[in-house]
Amino acid sequence: MADAGRVAVRVVMLGAPGAGKGTQAERFAKSRGIPRISTGDILREAVQAGTPLGRAARATMEAGRLVSDEIMIGVIKERLEKKDVDAGFVLDGFPRTVVQAEALDAMFDKGTPLVIVDIEVPEDVLVKRLAERRICGNCGWGATPGVNACARCGGPLVQRSDDGEEIVRERLRVYWRNTQPLVEFYSRRDTFRSVDGDQTLESVAADLSAAVASVIGGRP
11 three-class SS:
strand
Judge whether 171 counts as a catalytic residue.
yes
Report, in this order, helix, strand and coil percent for the chain, each rounded to 5.
50, 15, 35
Catalytic residue, from 21, 44, 129, 134: name it. 21
Cβ proximity to ligand AMP: between 61 and 90 the closer is: 61
Cβ proximity to ligand AMP: between 176 and 220 the closer is: 176
Cα 121 to chain centroid, rounded: 15
Cβ proximity to ligand AMP: between 2 and 56 the closer is: 56
Residue 170 CB, nearest approach to ligand AMP (Å): 9
Residue 31 CB, nearest approach to ligand AMP (Å): 21
Q: Which residue is nearest to ligand AMP (CB)?
A: 40
Query: How large is the C-alpha radius of gyration of the chain?
Result: 17
Catalytic residue, from 10, 44, 58, 160: name it. 160
Instruction: Give the torsion sign (CA, 63, 69, 74, 79).
Output: positive
Cα 171 to chain centroid, rounded: 15
Phi, psi of 217 (to 5 degrees): 80, -175
Q: Judge contact between 136 and 15, C-beta under 8 A.
A: no
Cβ proximity to ligand AMP: between 168 and 205 the closer is: 168
Catalytic residue, from 96, 129, 134, 193: name it. 96
Residue 5 CB, nearest approach to ligand AMP (Å): 33
Establish whether the linkage from the previous residue to 95 is cis, with ω within 30° of 0. yes
Residue 61 CB, nearest approach to ligand AMP (Å): 4
Residue 30 CB, nearest approach to ligand AMP (Å): 18
Q: Which residues bind ligand AMP (CB under 6 A)?
A: 17, 39-40, 43, 60-61, 64-67, 72, 93-96, 100, 162, 171
Cα 52 to Cα 6: distance, rounded to the nearest angstrom: 38
CA distances from 124 to 17, 117, 121, 140, 208 (A): 12, 21, 9, 25, 22
Cβ proximity to ligand AMP: between 27 and 96 the closer is: 96
Judge whether 133 counts as a catalytic residue.
yes
Catalytic residue, from 27, 133, 134, 193: name it. 133
Judge whether 96 counts as a catalytic residue.
yes
Catalytically active residues are 21, 96, 133, 160, 171
